[in-house]
Structure 1
Amino acid sequence: MANVFLVGAGPGDPGMLTLRAKEIIETCDIMIYDYLANADFLKWCKPDCEILYVGKKGGDHTLPQDKINDLIVEKARSGLVVCRLKGGDPYVFGRGGEEGEELVEAGIDFEVVPGITAGVAAAAYAGIPVTHRDFTTSVCFITGHEDPTKAESGNNWEVYGRSNSTLVFYMGVGNLPMIAQNLMENGRPADTPVALVRWGTRCNQTSFVSDLEHVAEDAQARNWKAPSIIIVGGVCSLHDKLGWFEKKPLLGQGVVVTRAREQASGLVNVLRSHGACVHEFPTISVEPLADYNEVETAILQLARYQWVVFTSVNGVKFFWEQLREIGLDARIFGGMQIAAIGPATADELRARGIEPDFIPEKYVAEHVVEGLLKRGIQGSDVLIPRAKVAREVLPRELKEAGCNVTVLPVYETRLVQADGDEIMTALGAGKIRYVTFTSSSTVENFFELVPADVFKNYPDVKIASIGPVTSETVKRFGFTPALEPEDYTIPGLVDALIKDATGE
């Protein structure tokens, strides 16, 4: 069996990674990755995976290709599983063929995992179909940066100039004047549409359309840089008509997500679907308790409660884990009332066969108590499974209403042991537009890692808070949230970001 995998990471959008590629990333022992391979994919690596960066950009080679070949062979001989992760497709201007030859010569089995190449994906994200029956029936992928040691060019400019094919040049921005001139001298009309797409499929994608005569001048005026692809042909005239990706409301907006990694995926995915550049910075982690004896005792005595109030998705998950541990299920709740604070918590209960008897209109403790009192909870025995440390408003006010309240910790949140260097760097580079907070603990732990006195140096960065309780915690650190949705939910928070970004 192969223990080396030449893996195509696709053009950059995480959604463009193949399932096979993700499987290799998750199981490999050694990761050797390139500049154009999205570094976000590394979070899927095993904790003990050895990660090696060998990226190359614009002549700046962390490691020359021959040394990369040697490194792959050396690591492969260790008998461990090696993932060689390359942007796009390994065999489309990715030098994967050269690496494969080295492995064959060394007698090492390998497997190739193709990836979606930028010549197709970036064009599509810019509204350009590389083939279209009204314009062309063929496409040609061409390197815009040939091997300088070759005796003569492999580019047949006469053929390219006379052809009606869509031409897609990789790595050609530095040679754009030469490319345009050669095409015109060999028969391509000066008014042929040309598109440039930079960072195709990623949240910072930009593109524009010109023509062969003016494209070099237009690119210089825009200070256009690599990595970009150049598309030549009539299909580029569809850029404005079919363009969809660059219309996303949060495109290019840097958004920090501070939720625990276990909870962040939903928010991260929604933000990315709207084009945001998401910076995952989990300030808390959700952890099981060291001892669940008290929880098991409470479950076995559950029949004595008239109400169980779940205050979070995590409360449901950890409570149910203990139910299963002792061989019980949802039937144990027969005859009692169940409340869920918020739609996500309600959905978590529904997934386990429980339809909540009460969901408040506003998802804060004060409104919960008001609603529960209207439901006649006064004087009831109430169980509240929740985090080990949480606000005391709900149990306090229920006690004041005559309830016999048992607060049952079923999990705890902890400060993630990390520093704020990554976010500080992004702030300094002007890459952050919004910082989102979904609970008081995310606020407190964020400012533990990014001191408030330092954060004050970035007044243009907007704080988005999920609700008034979280906002009050933000204010304790000397800031006023710029955004707070009327609906204290993740969808409400995303809607608030979109409205602010678009000026609606």
Structure 2
Amino acid sequence: MEKGRAFLVGAGPGDVQLITVKGLEAIKKAQVILYDRLANPKLLDYAPSDCELIYCGKLPDRHVLRQEMINNLLVSKVLEGKIVVRLKGGDPGVFGRVGEEAAALAENGLSFEIVPGITSGIAAPLYAGIPVTHREFGESFAVVTAHDKSENGQPKLDWKGLATGIDTIAFYMGISNLPYISENLIKHGKPADTPVILIQWGTFSRQQTLEGTLSNIAAKAKEVNFTNPAITLVGDIISLRKKLNWFEKKPLFGKQILLARTGTDESELARELMNQGADVIEFPKWKKVTVPVDQAVVNRISVYEQILFTSPESVREFFEIIFTEGIDIRKVKADFYGCSTKSVKALNEKGFFAELDGKMPLAGQLLIVGDSDFSQDYPHAEMFITSRKVIDEQFTPIFKRVLEEASVNTIVLPSSRAVKTIVEEGILKEIIPQQILKTSKVVCMGVRTAEAAIEYGVSPNEVLEVPNKTAVIDCLARKESELAFV
């Protein structure tokens, strides 16, 4: 049996782009991933389609898997000869219990690597506009756990040293112990008017902050029911936030978007929405299943007058098959069309002029490449199925957990196929709460998408004449600025 290996990987604080290159490489080759609640589940999209995903998340009131069980599971999977990634929020060495997991592997003579990550005690303040050190405000910085293993969970710390010897202090998961923390810092010499900021879900678009002082922050947090996960930052350096607050000024900050997904490739739209400050939940997660090449279609490829591609993936697969079969592309006489702007762009990148299917003539011999579902719209067409897409059911419980913790306020529907998918696979199967349709702004990319939405009982709030990512971003950013003046 091939020797297994474990990678104990820091997933970073939440923003999916803050994963390290080495951490992402480990995810891409993993056969098993044991992941925590605070590791952004979008990172699992990069795992191989046959990777086993195991949730080890912990909530304040319950444990899905206790630490001893996680250690044992980690060891057993490596003993099976698997490449195992233990994906932990933030940095695994900062209150991540990586020492216990690494010890379990070492005691069993198993090979492992520890991959550092960006810890939330540094990243969350930076995303709130606060560096944790500064020559004028703070030359010393401490990370401190706000809980310990005692019965009451109140850590026994060197309060005198923290209060008088450290300029800036980051307490991890300290909301429930705020009165205890504030009282002890004041008691041991920290001025009562020392600034404090609470940062919840740091680096996500749903990031929330609450500012106060040691004397009043506990009361303020109680009044608004502020909860973990959060960093409590204490120190005069917090005053820099007024000048340096950059993340919360992004055009789409605060937007929590549910984006209907119809392909297996990474979504350029999702990436750009995140770059503009939004949180994006893509539904569903698809995986490809290969199918045998239809030789009858390949042999007749020169007779078709129009070829309609259902997805960017189908474009790539079509040309791969044509090349593998030894067919000169010049034998293909058909005009090319795409079911989406992404499909048209994929054809353009291959050097072909193409248009959307709305401009395709109904007469002539038509070949549809890709998804067999489209044959219902074109009964006279022949099908060339290059691969089959199936929903990856491993992600169903992940979506449910993400939707429970998020507060979706925007739904983006890129195509009529996306409407069908989100309703039939999400709403009707009770993976997506129906209430989201009533409480969210629904943006349809194009008239045909809007028509499909209405047929399914979904009322669009916005219909984009130009169905591209620039129009989506402009629409969402514009509406947010208008609301600011209401």
TM range (shorter): 0.7 to 0.9
Moved more, 338-347 or 492-501: 338-347
Which string of whole-angstrom CA distances, capped at 9 and with x for unpartnered residues, describes residues 13-33 of structure 1?
A: 211112222232333333322
Report the CA distance between 1:236 and its aligned residue: 0.9
**Cα 1:255–1:355, aligned 2, differ >3 Å: closer, same or farther?**
same
Letter of the 2:472 counterpart: L
The residue number in structure 1 matching 2:70 is 68
8 Å contact from structure 1 (residues 35, 54) kept in 2: yes
Q: Of 282, 297, 300, which residue of structure 1 is paired with 2:299?
A: 297
Report the CA distance between 1:498 and its aligned residue: 3.3
Which string of whole-angstrom CA distances, capped at 9 and with x for unpartnered residues, describes residues 265-299 of structure 1?
A: 21221222233332222387777765432442344
8 Å contact from structure 1 (residues 463, 480) kept in 2: yes
The residue number in structure 2 matching 1:365 is 358
- Mapped partners of 2:420, 2:465: distance in 1: 23
Return 5+ residue gaps in structure 2 as ranges: none
Report the CA distance between 1:500 and its aligned residue: 3.4
Letter of the 2:358 counterpart: A
Report the CA distance between 1:407 and its aligned residue: 6.6
Residues 48-447 of structure 1: matches in 2 within 5 Å? 48-148=50-150, 155-263=157-265, 265-282=267-284, 290-299=292-301, 301=302, 313-314=312-313, 316-328=315-327, 344-345=342-343, 347-352=345-350, 354=351, 356=353, 363=356, 365-366=358-359, 386-387=369-370, 388=372, 390=374, 409=384, 411=386, 416=391, 431-447=407-423
Letter of the 1:432 counterpart: V
8 Å contact from structure 1 (residues 193, 233) kept in 2: yes
Report the CA distance between 1:125 and its aligned residue: 0.9
The residue number in structure 2 matching 1:483 is 462
Which string of whole-angstrom CA distances, capped at 9 and with x for unpartnered residues, describes residues 218-246 of structure 1?
A: 21122111111111112211223212222
Which string of whole-angstrom CA distances, capped at 9 and with x for unpartnered residues, describes residues 305-352 of structure 1?
A: 7x877786455324312321233566667x998777876445423433
TM-score by length of 1: 0.80
- Mapped partners of 1:252, 1:151: distance in 2: 33
Return 5+ residue gaps in structure 1 as ranges: 371-378, 397-405
Aligned to 1:225, the other structure's residue is in SS state coil
8 Å contact from structure 1 (residues 295, 410) kept in 2: no
- Mapped partners of 1:424, 1:85: distance in 2: 19
Report the CA distance between 1:119 and its aligned residue: 0.8
Aligned to 2:196, the other structure's residue is in SS state strand
Larger radius of gyration: 1
Aligned to 1:261, the other structure's residue is in SS state coil
Letter of the 1:439 counterpart: S
Aligned to 1:488, the other structure's residue is in SS state coil
**Cα 1:393–1:88, aligned 2, differ >3 Å: closer, same or farther?**
closer
Report the CA distance between 1:115 and its aligned residue: 1.1
- Mapped partners of 1:3, 1:130: distance in 2: 36
8 Å contact from structure 2 (residues 30, 48) kept in 1: yes
1:466 is the counterpart of 2:445: yes
Report the CA distance between 1:11 and its aligned residue: 0.9
Aligned to 2:454, the other structure's residue is in SS state helix
Report the CA distance between 1:162 and its aligned residue: 1.5
- Mapped partners of 2:100, 2:401: distance in 1: 36
Report the CA distance between 1:206 and its aligned residue: 0.9
The residue number in structure 1 matching 2:15 is 13
Letter of the 2:422 counterpart: F
Aligned pairs, how many? Answer: 476
8 Å contact from structure 1 (residues 193, 236) kept in 2: yes
TM-score by length of 2: 0.82
Moved more, 387-396 or 260-269: 387-396
Report the CA distance between 1:255 and its aligned residue: 2.2
Letter of the 1:433 counterpart: N
Which string of whole-angstrom CA distances, capped at 9 and with x for unpartnered residues, describes residues 192-224 of structure 1?
A: 221111111123211122222221122112211
Report the CA distance between 1:59 and its aligned residue: 4.8
Identity of aligned residues (%): 33
- Mapped partners of 1:311, 1:467: distance in 2: 16
Moved more, 450-459 or 104-113: 450-459
Tell me the C-alpha RMSD between the 2 structures. Answer: 3.9
Aligned to 2:463, the other structure's residue is in SS state coil
Letter of the 1:224 counterpart: F
8 Å contact from structure 1 (residues 27, 45) kept in 2: yes
